[in-house]
Amino acid sequence: MTATLGARPAPGRGRARARHRLTVLGFMAPAIIGFVLFFGYPLVATVVFSFTKYDLINAPEFNGLDNYAYMFKDPLLTKAIANTLWFVVVLTIARTVFALGVASVIARLKSGVGLIRTLCYLPSLAPPVAATLVFFMVLRPNGGPVDNLLGVFGIDSPLWFSDPAWAKPGITAIMLWISGDLMIIILAAILDVPQEQYEAAELDGAGPIRRWWHVTLPTISPVLLFGIVNSVILALQLFTQAVVAGSAGSGAADATGSTKYLGFPDNSTLTFPVYLYTQGFRYFDMGYAAAMATVLFVISFAVTIVLVQRMRKNSTAEEGGPGA
Amino acid sequence: MRKHTRAALLCVAAGMATALTLTACAAGKGGGASSDAAAAPGKDDKLTLTVWSNYSDREYEEVTKALKTFNKKFPNIEIKHEGSQDDDKITAGIRSGNTPDVALSFTTDNIGQFCSSGAFQPLKAYIERDKVDLNQISPAVREYTEYKGNRCAMPMLTDVYAMYYNKDMMSAAGVTAPPKTLDELFEAAKKLTKKAPNGDIEVAGYLPTMGFYANRPTILAPSFGAEWEKDGKSALASSPGFTEMMTFQKKLVDFYGFDALERFRAGLGQEYSADHAFHQGKIAIMMDGEYRTAFLKAQAPQIKFGTAPFPTWKPADYGTAFTTGTIMGIPKGAKNPGAAWELIKHLSFDTDTIVDLSNAIKNVPSTKAAMESPKLEVDEQFKTFIDLAKSDKLKGNPVTPIGDAHIKAVTDFAVSYTSGKVPDLAAGLKEVDKNIDDQIAKSGK
Amino acid sequence: MTATLTKPPVDVTADPEQPARKRDVGGFLNWVATHAIGLALGLMFATPVVFVFLTAVMSDDQAFTADLWPREWHWENFVEVFDKAPLLQYLVNSLTYSLLATAGMLISSIPAAYALAKLQWRGRNLAFLLVIGAMMLPPQVVAVPLYDTWSSLGLTGTLWPLIVPYFLFDAFSIFLLRQFMLTIPQSYVDAARVDGCSEFQALVRIIVPMAKPGIAATALFCFLFTWNDYFGPLLYTGEVKDQWTLSLALATFKGMHIVQWNSSMAVTFLTMIPAVVLFVFAQKSFVKGITFTGVKG
């Protein structure tokens, strides 16, 4: 990943190399154990389940590629994939840009920083189910605050979680509203940019926008990469907000996020994980759910590799440094 | 090279086998999947029975009280009642051997899975041994507690669905009697609907949107005489009832105008809040369960409402209704199956216990004796539901091994059909049939 | 990502034409504009939380209706929820879970992140990708084999299945910490090595103090994620009420056909208070860490 040169021991110094290896191993040991136990084992189990018929109660029965074959005649799966792709594209871009924007504004504030920072972060402190429900109430057409506000300008409020065309944008709005965590991460990174870099740029006569573009952005790019990858994962795993928005839209919200009708309205909130959950725990077909999980994992892992490689290339090119 | 690949494959296979054995072990743990009845406990046996339910707060207290009446028969059995346990939790518990002795589930959607997978133990041997009279329970309720002849659960209380109507709005609109047929319902809905000059709906006579509130295809099916299956196959397309259900829904939606209706509905309050549209006088007629009578009295005393059987397509069907309810079973791996059965039997058949619980949480009792009991508190509105429950015209949930997949499929279809997206109703229903059959075939049960 | 050791001077295309006077006026307007936007953002973000509070003090009949301003103020709702659920006990459990998990995460993730960010070893890129990959298995599926394992160890009904993993591996935190550490110039680490520091000393003396804002942020997220975690505690401690966390208290206010919205929101609001307090304190440590590294630059 990085072009750090200092730590690589010169060849031939066998003992130093062994010691270096031991150090790395020591630092990574808990992670390696944890990785095997809490990721490796579930991954193997998931892949194994995906070749079986498994009703969650009786021992899985091998059924070859049946689960994978069924994917091709499952109309809801197509819908779920389309919904999740929508979120991966829209939510990832919107969330990263939004968080970066808000963090950049906050970073420039001179007074009241603490208060505004806290206000912006407040929503991400709320339990996800409650946050979604409250947002639902705020967006509620016919008497909600946003509806009233739009009414002042003579605009009809969208029906949000009742309209298949607006349910996903509505959920995206919720996700932006609770993106305070990413905002704070980016803010911390922005404030962490060494002051002398700005001073140097200022001496060269760069205005604030130029400084932001040429100093801030490149320096915080590792954190931005985190933001993008984190948003992609969030989009891929979007579950609670989709379930709660769907249940509230169908008029059956409850305080814990359980629901009678997943995907309301018209399956527009049926994300891949929601459908996976439905198949595994509502229809008791864990084999199929595991096949879905396997496919999701393989595709998203491949996308991540491409994304990470590309980000690395870009940042390397921009900074003019040697590649890894 | 080849050898290497083979070795690698073998390694993977070995890994898979290990993983499978592990899960198989976990799944096979705990005894008691046998079809023999475990012996009842002695009168003074000391043991603890764990009960899981999804009740909370006040309902939890009332159910706990009902469970404790078991101590009159077995004073030394301690009952531990854990609320807020949903079906996912029950499944996880059973799979890993961490099970209660008795599990209560709110939904009848999963009975097919519970019975066919062995998650709930078969009760046949107990019923035969104790010569339990199942005729005490109405046929529809008996149906939703078993799957393919395997009874693995008993009902606790039931919910029955019927029509609610706003009396003041009815008389203001000149509707003199509650509608009994779909045509009458349609006419009443038209008269009761109020539109603003700009076309916005202010009051909907009857809100048809499928999936919203209690408008679920299962709940509506009995009123249309709709049949879910025939010879083990999904039979929506060949059931005139489903065709009529879709046509009727579409006729209503077209009357309101799809967009206007959606705008109106999007502003309605949540089902489980005082903002329910019927409480607020925004809908005049609706389908709902008996529990709504209590909520209306507590939260909207200004609403004068009546209840009646829901109008039917065919006059001969009038008096039919959908029923569902809480079910109880002995999970596989339960530590005290014998005692668990005694508790289930007690809750299923002890008239005083059922009546007290029914009075406390306003559900319909599940036995005929309890429904006849003079101690049962029945007011004018609640009586409709008791009368429906006493009749043999009740219909239960269509039991499948695929949870509520079939219900979701029909709901989804109804939404797209009423929005005008489906040109050919019959072909559309056939496609839904195929999807349901595929899903069932996939489950292999 | 970064090539910090050999990083050339930042490429800023200078614009010498810009007169200084114009910049001062622009600076003031800029100040006003930024603060106006900041304030608007703050208000926008706060609004829904205000509704949590307003719903919490409504009567049961008004809560969750279109009527958003309390007709009567039922302050007693905040007291009554303590009668309905043993919230103090839940608070203790929540603190146990969140604090232990956060502590465990710091112990396990800081060294791993350092190894991934600042040490050179074969397989490091692969290891990093695997860390990211570990976040991509849907938790709903992962829960199935893991629950069975914990159950066979007899640890269901306790919070340990939720806490123990943090002492070993938390992909999110490792990833985040690594990215923060990458923003620290490699030259600092190299300087430490030249001074004869071992890698461990370099980590403790140089990286940890410099990455303080990042560490504080990661710890905060870990704490808040576990604080608001609902499905984890429900799955593992659902049947043992003594072990419930505050987030599960919401389940107390939902019945078969009823939800007590005012109580739900009162508990939500109460649950948020410790988190807000923590955030207000944690944000000071961001600032401190920031000035520390900033001055040193």
**In terms of domains, do B266 and B409 share one?**
yes
Q: Which two tokens stand for residue A18?
A: 């062994």
Longest alpha-carbon distance in chain C: 74
Out of B353-367, C101-115, C252-266, pick the least confident. Answer: C252-266
Q: Which residue has the higher pLDDT, C158 or B444?
A: C158
Does C151 contact chain B (CB < 8 Å)? yes
B418 neighbors B250 (Cβ within 8 angstroms): yes
Neighbours of chain A (3+ CB pairs under 8 A): B, C
Give the number of other Cβ atoms within 10 Å of residue B7's Cβ: 10
Taking phi first (over 0 means left), then psi (-120 to 50 degrees means alpha), and beta for anything else, what does residue A291 get?
A: alpha
Q: Which two tokens stand for residue C136?
A: 């991509």
Count of CB pairs separated by less than 8 Å, A with B: 127
**In terms of domains, do B220 and B307 share one?**
yes
Residue B211: give the domain boundaries.
160-322+400-443
**In terms of domains, do B317 and B371 share one?**
no
Residue B285 inside a domain? The answer is yes
How high is the pLDDT of residue B44? 83
Q: Do B267 and C66 touch (CB under 8 A)?
A: yes
Q: Which two tokens stand for residue B88?
A: 């996912």
How high is the pLDDT of residue C23? 57
CA A28 remoteness from chain centre: 25
- Residue B36 CA to residue B264 CA, distance in Å, equals 56
**In terms of domains, do B132 and B191 share one?**
no
CA distances from B219 to B316, B319, B361, B440, C177 (A): 18, 14, 21, 21, 53
Mutate to test the interface with C, among A5, A20, A24 (most CBs of C within 10 A): A24
Domains of chain C: 24-76 (no CATH), 85-296 (1.10.3720.10)
Mean pLDDT of A210-221: 87
pLDDT band at C21 (very low <50, low <70, confident <90, very high): low
**In terms of domains, do B146 and B167 share one?**
no
Q: Which residue matches tokens 């795993």? A: A237
Q: Do A225 and C1 touch (CB under 8 A)?
A: yes
Residue B12 inside a domain? The answer is no
Position C297 pLDDT exceeds 80: no
B404 neighbors B109 (Cβ within 8 angstroms): yes
Chain C residues 84-123 within an 8 A CB cutoff of chain A: 107-109, 111-112, 114-121
Residue B28 inside a domain? The answer is no
Does B179 contact chain C (CB < 8 Å)? no
**In terms of domains, do B66 and B128 share one?**
yes
Residue B120 inside a domain? The answer is yes
Q: Which two tokens stand for residue B429?
A: 């229903």
Residue B423 inside a domain? The answer is yes
How high is the pLDDT of residue B11? 44
Mean pLDDT of C111-120: 92
- Residue C58 CA to residue C68 CA, distance in Å, equals 9
Q: Give contacts of C144 with chain B, Cβ < 8 Å.
A: 92, 95
Position A318 pLDDT exceeds 70: no
**In terms of domains, do B318 and B427 share one?**
yes
B407 neighbors B216 (Cβ within 8 angstroms): yes
- Which of the residues in chain B have pLDDT under 70? 1-35
Residue B127 inside a domain? The answer is yes
Q: What is the pTM of this model?
A: 0.88
A254 neighbors A103 (Cβ within 8 angstroms): no
ipTM attached to this prediction? 0.86
Tell me which of B355, B379, B395 is where a domain ends: B395
**In terms of domains, do B83 and B155 share one?**
yes
Residue B101 DSSP class: S
Instruction: Tell me whether residue C274 is exposed, middle or buried, using C-beta atoms within 10 angstroms of its C-beta: 0 to 12, 13 to 18, 19 or more.
Output: middle
Neighbours of chain C (3+ CB pairs under 8 A): A, B
Mutate to test the interface with C, among A5, A19, A27 (most CBs of C within 10 A): A27
**In terms of domains, do B193 and B64 share one?**
no
Q: Which residue matches tokens 């693995």? A: B152
Q: Do C256 and B57 touch (CB under 8 A)?
A: no
How high is the pLDDT of residue B58? 84
CATH number at residue B279: 3.40.190.10
Mutate to test the interface with B, among C59, C64, C148 (most CBs of B within 10 A): C148
B87 neighbors B303 (Cβ within 8 angstroms): no
Mutate to test the interface with B, among A36, A57, A73, A157 (most CBs of B within 10 A): A57
The shortest CB-CB distance from A53 to any of B216, B419, B444 is to: B444
B291 neighbors A272 (Cβ within 8 angstroms): no
Considering its fold, how many domains does chain B have in total? Answer: 2
The shortest CB-CB distance from A207 to any of C6, C18, C38 is to: C18
Q: Which residue matches tokens 């799979």? A: B95
Mean pLDDT of all residues in chain C? 83
pLDDT in tens, C171-205: 999 999 998 888 888 888 888 888 888 888 888 88
A24 neighbors C121 (Cβ within 8 angstroms): yes
Q: Give contacts of B444 with chain A, Cβ < 8 Å.
A: 53
In chain A, the residue whose alpha carbon lies closest to the alpha carbon of B440 is: A283
Mean pLDDT of A297-307: 86
Q: Do A57 and B110 touch (CB under 8 A)?
A: no
Closest chain B C-alpha to C4 CA, distance in angstroms: 41
Does C66 contact chain B (CB < 8 Å)? yes
Q: Do A266 and B271 touch (CB under 8 A)?
A: no
Q: Do C125 and A1 touch (CB under 8 A)?
A: yes
Q: Do A1 and C128 touch (CB under 8 A)?
A: yes
C98 neighbors C223 (Cβ within 8 angstroms): yes
Direct distance between the N- and C-terminal alpha carbons of chain B, in angstroms, rounded to an integer:
44
How high is the pLDDT of residue C231? 84
**In terms of domains, do B112 and B180 share one?**
no
Q: Which residue has the higher pLDDT, A121 or C12?
A: A121
How high is the pLDDT of residue A279? 92
Residue B11 inside a domain? The answer is no
Does C68 contact chain A (CB < 8 Å)? yes
**In terms of domains, do B133 and B232 share one?**
no
Mean pLDDT of all residues in chain A? 85
Q: Which two tokens stand for residue B3?
A: 């050898």
**In terms of domains, do B427 and B416 share one?**
yes
Direct distance between the N- and C-terminal alpha carbons of chain A, in angstroms, rounded to an integer:
5
Give the number of other Cβ atoms within 10 Å of residue B118's Cβ: 19
Residue B351 inside a domain? The answer is yes
How high is the pLDDT of residue B52? 95
Does C157 contact chain B (CB < 8 Å)? yes
Domains of chain A: 1-50 (no CATH), 66-319 (1.10.3720.10)
Closest chain C C-alpha to B128 CA, distance in angstroms: 32
pLDDT in tens, C34-69: 888 888 888 888 888 898 999 999 988 888 887 888
- Residue C161 CA to residue C143 CA, distance in Å, equals 11
Could you tell me which residues are beta bridge partners of residue B322? B395
Q: Which residue matches tokens 């919107």? A: A94
pLDDT in tens, A50-94: 999 999 999 999 999 999 999 998 999 999 999 999 999 999 999
pLDDT in tens, A144-195: 888 888 888 888 888 889 888 999 999 999 999 999 889 988 888 888 787 8
